[in-house]
Amino acid sequence: MSTPSNSDAKGPDHARGASSGGASRPRVSFQAPKGTRDLYPADAAKRRFIMEAWRSASVRFGFEEIDGPTFEHLGLYTVKSGEGIVSELFSFRRSGGEDDYALRPEFTPTLARMYAAMARQLPRPTKWFMAGPFFRAERPQRGRLREFLQWNADFIGLDVPDDASEDARMEARARADAEVISCCIGFLREMGLDASTIRVKVNHRHALSRWLESRSIPASRHTELFTLLDAKGKMKPEEFAQKLSAFGFTTQQAEIFQKGLIRVTIDNPPGAPTDEVLDLTFFSEAVAPLVRALTAAGVLDWIDFDLSIVRGLAYYTGMVFEVHEAGGKERAIAGGGRYDGLVELFGGPPTPAVGFGMGDVVLSLVLEDRGLMPTGTAMLDRTGIRPDCFVISNGTPEAGAQVARVVASLRSAGLHARHSYKATGNIGKLLKDAAACGARLAIIVESDTRATVKNLDSGAQQTDASLASIVESVRAAIR
RNA sequence: GUGGCCAUAGCUCAGUUGGCAGAGCACCGGGUUGUGAUCCCGGUUGUCGCGGGUUCGAGUCCCGUUGGCCACCCCA
């Protein structure tokens, strides 16, 4: 390791090896790439916990699991989002190849591609979910990394015939919208969150569009209004009101947009005569079926209707929503909406669809902050990796000789059995080892035929158990 | 892409005007009490993120670079 450096002869470009081997080597970084995570056992358990909960909620709500490639042709993403998206992607070309690829930054294009390819033979509606890694070339900060997990659930097509009336289709869209939102809420509820800590903010693009149309404001300016509403929080109220006046809204009306929230119940729909400042008739008509469907699903108490939620994406065509921690300090936990034109854009038949995505980064922050991320044996239980038993010797040679045999027979029987790798015969230290790994039972081998079975949760112990029937004893004790 | 702060043992951190690389916890071994604790003794752990520069001498000062945290931007 004391080889003299020959960097003088190699020049500065070769003097940067992280290795101390002496000979020049390519520069190697021993740090993980920016915005990625190394998952040690406790971290991997958290990931598994979240992934399993996502899967469980999806299955419970009748979604089927799919997945696609983690990289796609670069063009798949520029079709929807334009060339500007490229700087946000990890894109690459294989050495010697001619095609450009990109690590997937989102799932919707893959979903639309997969659906379009099979549309003729898929049931209506089709309900799909997936959860997996995604990649975005953004600068990391709180709640945002370059590699993260995302859960997607999508409801594609409607549960009515193609020739159904527009009213029937509107009701069907609202049912689908509500089912997707309910699935998201069902997961959050399972995590221990509730309507006082989490708010689901919902808006409907038809409401604003029809309001603008009624004022003869051309469609070309609708996007401009969406952008302005999206930027609401980043400007002073006076500036916001002044810009809003360009769309015919008064200062008083701007205050309603400023506050955003419209709390709605089934008995108190928006557009009631009490709303004198801003005529909410269009909003009311747009969301009334959705309010009914959310009520039927039992989740209306989680919902705030919020006129300022627009989502950045141009492709949303109806309901849009975001899920926020009630304190409003974190980034959005989840977001989604209706995108009725997207499947067609990817070569499929005209197909209404609604879905959402939820990342693991903000979710984890919220769960950790509220003490809802399991730790210790609770996490081992939730992820199914808690040891059933920990086999130790009482320190005598004849007992010590039996440990490996006992462990092997327990493992052959399908039990999760561990033992100590320590040299000590100190029973107190070995029990500490057993408790540290979260084992339910400790088996203290006492001789070449007998053992003590100790329940590490209760402290109760059964003495003089037979080694010959140890598997049955363990099964009985952990039942 | 822009800006601020930061990087020393496995973890949390100290390290004075530049002068021998440190503490607690953790971990490992031994001892005591046949039971997870307490206690006692001993021990391991360092490319001071990386690469240059200044200097007799750099963890410390300077430059660059990588990574982290935070804000802006963006947010599928």
Rounded to a whole number, what is the distance in angstroms from the first to the last CA of chain A? Answer: 56
Q: What is the CATH number of the domain that holds A176?
A: 3.30.930.10
Instruction: Indicate the pLDDT class of residue A19, thresholds 50, 70 and 90.
Output: very low
Residue A83 confidence (pLDDT) = 75
**Å separating the CA of residue A143 from the C1' of nucleotide B16:** 39
Same structural domain, A336 and A464: no
Span CA (A400) to C1' (B66), Å: 50
| Interval A418-474: pLDDT, tens | 988 877 778 888 888 888 888 999 999 998 899 999 998 888 888 889 999 999 999
Q: Specify the 3-state DSSP secondary structure of A474.
A: helix
CA distance A290 to A284: 10
pLDDT at A260: 64
The Cα–Cα gap between A339 and A80 comes to: 12
Cα–Cα distance for residue pair A184/A345, rounded to 1 Å: 26
| A199, containing H or E segment | strand A198-204
- Our measurement of CA A10 to C1' B52, in angstroms, reads 14
In-domain check, residue A359 = yes
* A56 and A157 co-located in one domain: yes
On whether both A249 and A317 belong to a single domain, the answer is yes
Specify if A231 maps to a domain: yes
Q: Which nucleotide is nearest to A356 (CA to C1')?
A: B76
**Each residue's pLDDT tens digit, A211-235:** 777 778 777 777 777 777 777 777 7
Closest CA to A126 of A56, A176, A186, A182: A176
Q: Which nucleotide is nearest to A444 (CA to C1')?
A: B35
Q: What is the CATH number of the domain that holds A419?
A: 3.40.50.800
Q: How much is the pLDDT for A261?
A: 64
Question: Could you tell me which residues are beta bridge partners of residue A156?
Answer: A126, A353
| Through-space separation of residue A435 CA and nucleotide B12 C1' in angstroms | 24
User: A298: domain range?
Assistant: 41-369
Which value does ipTM take for this structure? Answer: 0.80
Q: Are residues A342 and A431 in the same domain?
A: no
The chain-wide mean pLDDT, for chain A, equals 84
The number of residues making up chain A comes to: 479
Same domain, A409 and A364: no
Q: Which nucleotide is nearest to A27 (CA to C1')?
A: B50
Burial of A140 (0-12, 13-18, 19+ CB in 10 A): middle
Q: Helix (H, G, I), strand (E, B), or coil: what is residue A271?
A: coil
- A238 with A254: CB under 8 angstroms? no
- Does A465 lie in the same domain as A329? no
Question: Of the candidates A341, A369, A397, which is a domain's last residue?
Answer: A369
Which tokens belong to A252?
């008083």
Residues A342, A274 share a domain: yes
Using an 8 Å Cβ cutoff, are A134 and A105 in contact? yes
Is the same domain home to A312 and A243? yes
The residue among A326, A341, A369 that closes a domain is A369
Q: How confident is residue A14, by pLDDT bands cut at 50, 70 and 90?
A: very low
* Nearest partner of A355 among A56, A155, A113, judged by Cα: A155
* A108 closest-nt by C1' vs CA: B76
Separation of CA A446 and C1' B39 in angstroms? Answer: 27
Residue A27 lies in a domain: no
Asked if residue A315 and residue A216 are part of one domain, the reply reads yes
- A62 and A207 share a domain? yes
Q: Is residue A461 in some structural domain?
A: yes
Residue A12 phi, psi dihedral angles, 5° rounding: -60, -35
Mean pLDDT, range A368-379, rounded to an integer: 85
Angle at A118 between CA A116 and CA A119, to 5 degrees: 60
**Cβ neighbours of residue A276 under 8 Å, at least 6 residues apart?**
none
If we measure between CA atoms, which residue out of A94, A118, A91 comes closest to residue A104?
Answer: A91
Residues A404 and A304 in one domain: no
- Is the Cβ–Cβ distance between A390 and A418 less than 8 Å? yes
Contact assessment for residue A7 and residue A23, using Cβ atoms and an 8 Å cutoff: no
C-alpha to C-alpha distances, A194 to A236, A304, A325, A326, nearest whole angstrom: 32, 14, 10, 10
- A28 within domain boundaries: no
Note the pLDDT tens digit of each residue in A274-295: 555 666 777 778 888 999 999 9
Main-chain dihedrals φ then ψ at residue A238, nearest 5 degrees: -65, -40
Q: What is the pLDDT of residues A30-42, one digit of tens each?
A: 677 888 888 878 8
Say yes or no: A414 and A340 in one domain: no
A16 found inside a domain: no
Which nucleotides of strand B come closer than 7 angstroms to any CB of the protein? 1-3, 27-38, 47, 49-52, 66-76
Chain-centre distance of CA A11, in angstroms?
A: 48
Strands (DSSP E) contained in A66-114 are 71-73, 91-93, 100-103
**Looking at the predicted structure, is the pLDDT value of residue A24 above 80?**
no
Domain closes at, from A369, A395, A430: A369
Distance A313 CA to B76 C1' (A): 7
Q: Report the C-alpha gap between A350 and A82 in whole angstroms.
A: 21
pLDDT in tens, A291-324: 999 999 999 999 988 877 877 666 888 999 999 9
Q: Which amino acid is at A28?
A: V
Burial of A105 (0-12, 13-18, 19+ CB in 10 A): buried
Which residues are CB-contacts of A56 (< 8 A; sequence separation ≥ 6)? Answer: A190
Q: Is A33 exposed, middle or buried (0-12, 13-18, 19+ CB in 10 A)?
A: exposed
- Closest-approach nucleotide to residue A458, Cα vs C1': B36
Residue with tokens 């959050």: A188
pLDDT tens for A50-109 read 999 999 999 999 999 999 999 999 999 988 777 777 888 999 888 899 999 999 999 999
**Is A17 inside any structural domain?**
no
A396 domain-assigned: yes
Residue A1 DSSP symbol: -
The total number of structural domains in chain A stands at 2
Closest CA to A322 of A356, A286, A274, A279: A356
